[in-house]
Structure 1
Amino acid sequence: MTLTPTRIRLALLALALGGFGIGLTEFVAMGLLPNLAADLLPDIWSVSHERANAQAGWLVSAYAAGVVIGAPTIAAVAAKFPRKQLLLACVALFTLGTLASALLPTFETVLVARFVAALPHGAYFGIAALVAASLMGPGKRGQGVALVLSGLTIANVIGVPTITWLGQEAGWRIAYLAVAAVFAAAFAAIALVVPFQPGDPAATVRRELGIFSRGQVWLALLIGSIGFGGFFAVYTYVAPLVTNVTGLDPAVVPWVLVVAGIGMTVGNFVGGRAADHSVIRTLFLCFGAFFIALLGLALTAQWTAGLFVFVFLVAAAASALSPAIQTRLMDVAGDGQSLAAAINHSSLNIGNSLGAYLGGITIAAGLGYLSPTWVGLLLVIPGVLLAVVSVALERRAGNRSEGARGVALDEDAVLDRPLA
């Protein structure tokens, strides 16, 4: 079936709308963290706002843990099923999990709901990335990944700030109900315009999980999880950073989130295009920019201009890493493309959970709301070192392969040489 350019654009927009909803459900907790803490942890809030905010950060960690577990499980089991049906199943689970988050009464039950809502996150993005890459055509994998991720990043420009404002005005539960409505719209859009695409009939759980026997896959996962954790160490606690470090009114928080979202959107598209030229060069350049941006934020966050400028740069540099890491995983995964496309989000959400957890520890220890930025700086260093190790091992393997081919050619020459 030949698709018209209009149908392709509509299909890509439908996939991005699902990503938009995921961006809302994943990041809205950051802007509403004090509201969640005050409502769900009133006893702790009355004693210490810092302790309550740090514990409310577990909601972010629970979502991240759901992504980590759900992405490889769903992707490995479901790789042989038609991709459109898998996307619809993922969006349906998002809708139900987000509704439960809005309606359940206690911190513990909301924590469980956030975990459940996150289970299809990686599988959705992985499957959607494969569908988008197919629609885009050869040589545009990085751009296809970036287009799917654009829904998530654009959510941080207009969606998360709007939902944050709604949650501040009408309550965080109303905010989550609005997010569930976005998922319902995404379900309808995907059902209407995304074309049928078969799964991989040869896929088996054993074959998909076989990618974990590849050392380069583990290195790519570690690069994402450790290096990317620095962003979530900062972003999880952005609301108290704005109010307690910079000293601005809570009404400014949505505007800071807008700036972060613009940074994510710009970084995502730049990273996607750069990854199509050189994945490795993109990784190193983005990590360098990320380190500089985090250092700038740590040194200037007490001033309004420093806060806005470096929040933008931190978000842009971190977001540019995502399509590069996903493309790298797909490069080293061999036959397990479905799982590779999904577990990138497990990797990044390990970083999400790690950053939120370590940032919460430093805040609870009384080191202040700027301390997660220094945590982020420390996490960048092992991320870069892992990238160096990955490249060194790849080059060594390439040289060994070239050497083996050279020996084989020499032997062939000897065998082909006429006898004297």
Structure 2
Amino acid sequence: MLALALGGFGIGTTEFVTMGLLPELASAMHISEPTAGHAVSAYALGVVIGAPVIAALCARVARKRLLVGLMIGFTLGSVATVVAPSFQTLVLARFVSGLPHGAYFGVASLAAASLAPAGQRAKAIAAVMLGLSGANVVGVPAATWLGQHLGWRDAFIVVAVIGLATVVALFRFVPELTGVKATNPMTELGALRRPQVLLTLLVGAVGFGGMFAVYTYIATTLTDVAGMRVGQVPLVLMLFGVGMVVGNIVGGVLTDRGVDSSIFTIMIAMAVILAGFVAAAHNPYAAAVGAFLVGGSGAALGPALQTRLMDVAADAQTLAAALNHAALNMANAAGAWLGGIVIAAGFGYTAPAVVGACLAILGIFLFTATVSLARR
């Protein structure tokens, strides 16, 4: 379980550190910050494309071998990011790095669920995703600090080292996972014919966008709106990560008690928190608390959506589980894009929180329709 979570730690570090280093990346590449945000969207697009393609084409591959292969690909993408000579090649490297993301978490979640005691599937899935949350406590702040003081490329050297360590840990400690059966491409693609799978993915793609709309531009929000020093930004990113850890644990407990009710509860809380961040961002202390709550509400939604997808996917669980992270990274891309639009339009750095609250509310309405359709 720790080896599986280590992979999540590396993936979480590379996914979120780009957002914390957008000002440095924009300055180094001589581009605007909204343009630099395209590196975030490129990674997310890689996840969206890679998750279904890899999950389907590799359906017959033994699960442990697939996990190791995915982390090797992730590590190579991180190395390509370090050596990228231009912004265009950087965007391409971020896209390649994102390709293994969804498939890794999908297979790792199924592996965790197969090893979990009865009635504790969501807690096991949350344990794997704890690596993703923990990255925001240690990995992202540390890599952000390195990027600010030594250069943004050094942050991705750290990511590549974590990826290599994960490859070794997976090979050494993860069992053969005979409880997670390999299938075939056509069986896995059958998930795309199930309305509840598609609707649940849509809920995640829309409702989760609010967190990313805020987090993508949080560095400048903290300095220009809340009045913090640049050196304080990693501390708030760490607090955001602590919120994700707490939210991840709470989400797993709530989901084991009731999947649909937990999704409703978490998404309502997310809408309220994002709306409140508009005002909180003007005070450094309130902004720090707001970052903690935004991270917590977002992380709590992950295990709930992952578990629901596994429940409604029948015999196509690998693809459905992988598509969860594709949907969340569609939210990542959309959140970064919409946040950049409202900032470029002159509405300021609190405007992404308004966009985020609207996305969360829309997600609530979509999930209400999804549950209603399931009951009928």
Distance 1:201 1:160 in 2: 34
User: Given the alignment of the two structures, is residue 97 of structure 1 paired with residue 77 of structure 2, yes or no?
Assistant: yes
Distance 2:2 2:203 in 1: 30
Q: Is the 8 A contact 2:80 2:93 kept in 1?
A: yes
Distance 1:158 1:197 in 2: 29
Q: Is the 8 A contact 1:19 1:152 kept in 2?
A: yes
- CA-to-aligned-CA distance 1:189-233 (integer Å, 9 cap, x gap): 111111112486662211111111111111100100000000000
Larger Rg: 1
Distance 1:161 1:203 in 2: 39
| Identity across matched positions, percent | 52
User: Given the alignment of the two structures, is residue 308 of structure 1 paired with residue 297 of structure 2, yes or no?
Assistant: no
- Where in structure 2 are there 5+ consecutive unaligned residues? none
Residue 156 (structure 1) aligns with? 136
User: Given the alignment of the two structures, is residue 205 of structure 1 paired with residue 205 of structure 2, yes or no?
Assistant: no
> Which amino acid counterpart does residue 25 of structure 1 have in structure 2?
T
Distance 1:237 1:151 in 2: 23
Residue 39 (structure 1) aligns with? 28
- CA-to-aligned-CA distance 1:15-37 (integer Å, 9 cap, x gap): 11110000111111011110110
Please list, as runs of the form range in 1=range in 2, the aligned pairs for 1:127-142 lying within 5 A after superposition. Answer: 127-142=107-122
Q: Is the 8 A contact 2:213 2:356 kept in 1?
A: yes
Q: Is the 8 A contact 2:26 2:36 kept in 1?
A: yes
Distance 1:278 1:272 in 2: 10
Distance 2:111 2:280 in 1: 42
Distance 1:137 1:129 in 2: 14
User: Given the alignment of the two structures, is residue 256 of structure 1 paired with residue 245 of structure 2, yes or no?
Assistant: no
Residue 399 (structure 1) aligns with? none
Q: Is the 8 A contact 1:90 1:120 kept in 2?
A: yes
Calculate the TM-score normalised by the size of structure 2.
0.98
Residue 295 (structure 1) aligns with? 275
Residue 172 (structure 2) aligns with? 192
Please list, as runs of the form range in 1=range in 2, the aligned pairs for 1:236-251 lying within 5 A after superposition. Answer: 236-251=216-231
What secondary structure is seen at the aligned counterpart in 2 of 1:325? helix
Distance 2:316 2:367 in 1: 21
Runs of 4+ in 1 over 3 A off after TM superposition: 198-202
- Where in structure 1 are there 5+ consecutive unaligned residues? 1-11, 45-51, 397-420
Please list, as runs of the form range in 1=range in 2, the aligned pairs for 1:264-279 lying within 5 A after superposition. Answer: 264-279=244-259
- CA-to-aligned-CA distance 1:24-57 (integer Å, 9 cap, x gap): 11111011110110111x1x4xxxxxxx110101
- CA-to-aligned-CA distance 1:99-146 (integer Å, 9 cap, x gap): 100111100000000000000000000111111112223322101110
- CA-to-aligned-CA distance 1:388-411 (integer Å, 9 cap, x gap): 001111111xxxxxxxxxxxxxxx
> Which amino acid counterpart does residue 142 of structure 1 have in structure 2?
A
What value does the CA root-mean-square deviation take over the aligned residues? Answer: 1.1
Please list, as runs of the form range in 1=range in 2, the aligned pairs for 1:13-412 lying within 5 A after superposition. Answer: 13-40=2-29, 42=30, 44=31, 52-198=32-178, 203-396=183-376
Residue 48 (structure 1) aligns with? none
Distance 1:342 1:305 in 2: 37
What secondary structure is seen at the aligned counterpart in 2 of 1:178? helix
Distance 1:260 1:221 in 2: 25
